[in-house]
Amino acid sequence: MSDWRKTACILCSENCGLEVKIEGGRIKSVRGDDAHPESRGYLCQKAARLDRYQNHVDRLDSPLERQADGSLKRVSWDHAIAGVARGLRRLRETHGGQSVAYYGGGGQGNHLGGVYGASLREAIGTPYIYSALAQEKTGDFWVNGQLFGRQTCHVATDVSQAEVVLFLGTNPFQSHGFPRARRVLNEIHKDPARTMIVIDPRATETARLADLHLQVRPGHDAFLLAALLGALVEEDLYDRAFLARRCRDSEPVLAALREVPVDAFATRSGVDPAVLRGVARTIAGASSVAVRADLGIQQSRHSTLNSYLEKLLFLLSGHFGKPGCNSLHSFLIPLIGHSPEPESESSIKTRVTGMHAISKLYPPNVLPAEIDTEHPERIRGLIVDSSNPIMSGADTAAYRAAFAKLELCVVIDVALTETAQFAHYVLPASSQFEKTEATFFNLGFPTNAFHLRRAVLPQRPGTLPESEIYRRLCVALGALPERFPILERVARADRRVPALRLFPLALKAKLALNPKLRSQLGLVLYQTLGLALPEGAQAAAVLWGAAQFYAKRHPAAVRRAGITSGRAGLGEALFEAILTGESGVEISTHLHEEMWSFLRTPDRRVQLCIPSLIEELAALATEPEGADAEWPFMLMAGERRSYNANTIYRDPSWRKTDSEGALWIHPDDAEALSLSEGSRVAVVSVGGRVEALVHRNAALQLGVLSLPHGYGLEHPETEGGPRVRTGVAVNVLTSAEHCDPRTKTPFHKGVPVRLEAL
């Protein structure tokens, strides 16, 4: 029996639409789905071996419970759910709900189940959500909040239409970050009327396609960006009309930039001042400029300042809210929330380190310190969903020491991860190809799309979708009834005759009668409307509410995307389109002028001045260089290459090249240390030591090293066999202390290290 089914790739935030050929329970072939509204048939080499995620010897097929001797024993679902609920109840009653934290809630391809995790957090009474996003992007989100009024105001980049594209600390040839990245890069490369500028310490694949590569010194992005902005102001190249109409408080920003010593900062950043001034003129003279930034500047020294300067670049030059530029976009379901400022009374701080949330997320960098302490209000319980913080958090040793002290650790995942090795309960989730799934990386503007994927393979026996795991836990905690017979009947009636529209009324009445259920709304929808949806689509129920809100907020944009309102209303029509659009569906097409209504400042203008960052900008001039003879090399930790992805690919045999994730070093540095190609060397940091395979690579600057992320996982070669580690677990070298003071984002792109001969 063979079949081609529609699904999506789960390896990066692009989530390209795929068609997969299934044979005998295996994903035999993979091809791009031409009908997908964003990827349009595109895919990269990483998706070809997705069967190694679906089928490998470490996949779980039974809940596991930690025994007194330390072993993990297979137990029934009823036993595991009762045990977890008992543990959570004990912590809640003895130490309060805030003694339990939640980590993750979805990776690059699975956000739908995590929505229901909110119901469990409410049932426990914890505000503490830790997420890998909060070691990457919270500086960026915080700046958005300051400029645009809310941290949920997120910026989209219209790379495909831009005359000039500026890539900052990103290598989209490998990391993608926008639809059909390699095709778009090649189009720009071949088009003499368009210009691609790359700012990156490495001569990456993208830099090689660029018209201009500014090879900035690692950790010096703030100097380069300040110089670029300083040149815009000094040469009177900024857009006065745009600032007057669309921004307020621009004068202090312009004044600070007038003080920037342009040529000295350019030189300090490693870039010829004349070249930098040429870039400023190119940006000012272009009809459209798209600035795309990523972890290269966000996980680097001055990371929050970098995000601010990056945004000032497109704001001061007036390239915002226009075709081919950066714009805010709408969300069907926001990926992030908004948190009050730390000084606000409503800011909820962590109990030990006093860290505040940004976008409702707490940084993984403080999590070990919140656990590994005698503080009476420490974190004692942790629920980890679809994440592997032992491997992905900075300072692996600190994570291991802290997790060993947890009184209750629950891991929900498809495989026995390194984090699951610390769990008291491991709850096996169905794979992303065995259930209805979606991601909330719907970041498009002017057109935005959403892809609800249906299962392409039967659910592996012994596993459950996350939504069902959360429902069972909430029922066991007494926060949710088993069934809602009347609501369920009404939902079925509405599904048969949509024009009835009785379900919204019945739901409202139920919530009015029992207000406590509001905190369980997602699971109430799951257990009522969800049961009336086509078989296997129960988890999509929460999208019904999102579709109603979205259609109400953006009716014209939804209609422009081709969604037409029937008798049941536009929200129902949008939900139906999502439910039945097996390749994904365009949910909105906005006009650029509408974008200004997305700003959440009182007057819908950009609040240009962020005083604390203007101070940080001014302090750059007196910042010492800080060379340290003990650590002569700068390691860029966590590079994206051809054969690394997120850690859900656990079976190392998926890689065709770079099987160990070699340490890249400039040939002259290698020569000086007598390191031949393929030899081994120890990399030592203040936090740890690893041994790595040497690869000489002239793409790196002298004194700079690179290691990829996603390696160092343990995987048995045969079922039940010994676990073998492949490649370097790079977070052994990284430190939680070496981070942005405001956000705690670690400076992974500049870890001081030395090399020692073996």
Nearer of residues 28 and 258 to ligand SF4, judged by Cβ: 28
Please tell me the distance from the alpha carbon of residue 711 to that of residue 731, in angstroms, as a whole number. 10
Give just the sign of the alpha carbon dihedral 478, 482, 484, 485: negative
| Token pair belonging to 440 | 């909330």
CB of 572 to ligand SF4, least distance (A): 30
Nearer of residues 44 and 563 to ligand SF4, judged by Cβ: 44
CB of 36 to ligand SF4, least distance (A): 10
Q: Is the peptide bond before 127 cis (omega within 30 degrees of 0)?
A: no
Q: Which of 506, 418, 435 is nearest to 726 (CA)?
A: 418
CB of 165 to ligand SF4, least distance (A): 18
Nearer of residues 12 and 165 to ligand SF4, judged by Cβ: 12
Backbone angles phi, psi at 43, to 5 degrees: -160, 160
- For 376, other C-beta atoms within 10 Å of its C-beta total 9
Backbone angles phi, psi at 704, to 5 degrees: -120, 140
Nearer of residues 74 and 183 to ligand SF4, judged by Cβ: 183
Nearer of residues 13 and 421 to ligand SF4, judged by Cβ: 13
CB of 659 to ligand SF4, least distance (A): 18
- 715-727: string of b/e by CB count within 10 Å (b at 16+)? bbeeeeeeeeebb
Nearer of residues 46 and 137 to ligand SF4, judged by Cβ: 46
CB of 14 to ligand SF4, least distance (A): 4
CB of 451 to ligand SF4, least distance (A): 11
Question: Could you tell me which residues come within 8 angstroms of residue 103 by beta carbon, excluding any fewer than 6 positions away?
Answer: 129, 130, 131, 364, 367, 382, 383, 384, 385, 387, 389
| Token pair belonging to 464 | 């459950």
CB of 5 to ligand SF4, least distance (A): 16
Nearer of residues 12 and 523 to ligand SF4, judged by Cβ: 12
- For 470, other C-beta atoms within 10 Å of its C-beta total 29
Nearer of residues 178 and 425 to ligand SF4, judged by Cβ: 178
- DSSP state, residue 595: G
CB of 442 to ligand SF4, least distance (A): 14
Please tell me the distance from the alpha carbon of residue 220 to that of residue 207, in angstroms, as a whole number. 18
CB of 562 to ligand SF4, least distance (A): 24
Q: Which of 337, 336, 335, 363 is nearest to 349 (CA)?
A: 363
Nearer of residues 182 and 559 to ligand SF4, judged by Cβ: 182
Question: Could you tell me which residues come within 8 angstroms of residue 572 by beta carbon, excluding any fewer than 6 positions away?
Answer: 498, 501, 547, 548, 566
Nearer of residues 114 and 179 to ligand SF4, judged by Cβ: 179
Question: Could you tell me which residues come within 8 angstroms of residue 626 by beta carbon, excluding any fewer than 6 positions away?
Answer: none
Nearer of residues 103 and 178 to ligand SF4, judged by Cβ: 178
CB of 39 to ligand SF4, least distance (A): 6
CB of 16 to ligand SF4, least distance (A): 3
Pairing between β-strand 64-66 and β-strand 195-199 as defined by DSSP bridges: unpaired
Nearer of residues 304 and 448 to ligand SF4, judged by Cβ: 448
Please tell me the distance from the alpha carbon of residue 716 to that of residue 284, in angstroms, as a whole number. 56
CB 112 within 8 A of CB 540: yes
- 440-464: string of b/e by CB count within 10 Å (b at 16+)? bbbbbbbbbbbbbbbbbbebbeebb
Report the interface residues with ligand SF4, using CB under 6 A: 9, 11-12, 14-16, 43-44, 46-47, 176
CB of 42 to ligand SF4, least distance (A): 7
